[in-house]
Amino acid sequence: MTVKRLADPGDFLAGAGPLLLGDEARHNLLFGIAGTLRDHPGVYHEHRLWLVEDGERVVGAALQTPPFNLVVARPAGEGPLAALAEALYAAQVELPGVTGAVPEVDAFAEAWEEHSGLRCRRRMTQRVYRLTDVRPIRGVVGRPRAATQADRALLVSWVRAFAEEALRDVDSPVQSAEQTVDARLREGTGGFVLWEDDKRVSLAGWGGLTPNGVRIGPVYTPPEQRCRGYGTAVTAAVSAERLAAGRRFCFLYTDLANPTSNKIYTDIGYEPVCDSIDYAFEPA
């Protein structure tokens, strides 16, 4: 097997596309980041792209947008992730951690531990969900509307609060609230929907387009407005809007440590696909 580093996101997607489309929901994060790199090159300051090839066939793929984690795809067959880890270590690539679905994320983490001498620490386990039809949500007071530039200050505040509460020490681009909001409002990488009940009470975003889908998130309701159904209603609204706009699927991630959010999304119609783990690499 050979590991090839690419510079052009379009070439990366052309090569990795058949592998990723084999399970689009599972690979929605990697697909979404690569698509943003291709279509909105100013959003990320740096990127690294790799394909693992067995002859002329692509059997593995990974990317990184430093300083964030490596994101790995599910390989075709045995060995691609071990080959990737060996090649990245030989090239002296520094990795803060790795993110991906189970079991591929574990396979890479174990191989990286062996080569680097570092240990992996699990920071968060999430569940990836997919939706094709939205179940109606009734009895919630208020209505949705698309957020605009006039809402920027509130969006930044709520996206930052979401990151501080839901992601904690997880290595996520969402932690850069201003960058996330501006990329969606100004660069067109996605958008936000607000739920209003006399005032703005809840938020759901969307972005990370894949060939047929879109990732929903973040979803945030201030503590004083919770337990009224606003988060469920705004998530259902943005999901229905994206499906009506031509997406076949909506994807989202939930923290497995939060049973409430997992129930909310299954009530809307989201179905579990796989689990995903965020690992940090640290000195042994």
Report the b/e string of 172-200 with b at 16+ CB within 10 A: bbbbebebbbbbbbeeebbbbbbbeeeeb
How do the domains of the chain map onto residue ranges? 2-126+279-283, 134-268
State both tokens at 245: 């706009």
**Per-residue tens of pLDDT for the chain, all 284 residues:** 999 999 999 999 999 999 999 999 999 999 999 999 999 998 999 999 999 999 999 999 999 999 999 999 999 998 999 999 999 999 999 999 999 999 999 999 999 999 999 999 999 999 999 999 999 999 999 999 999 999 999 999 999 999 988 876 665 544 489 999 999 999 999 999 999 999 999 999 999 999 999 999 999 999 999 999 999 999 999 999 999 999 999 999 999 988 888 888 999 999 999 999 999 999 98
Fold classification of 2-126+279-283 is Aminopeptidase (3.40.630)
Burial of 31 (0-12, 13-18, 19+ CB in 10 A): buried
Alpha carbon distance 120, 105 (integer Å): 11
For residues 12 and 51, is the Cβ–Cβ distance under 8 A? yes
CATH classification code of 134-268: 3.40.630.30
Helix or strand run (H / E) with residue 82:
helix 80-90
Confirm whether 2-126+279-283 and 134-268 share one CATH topology.
yes
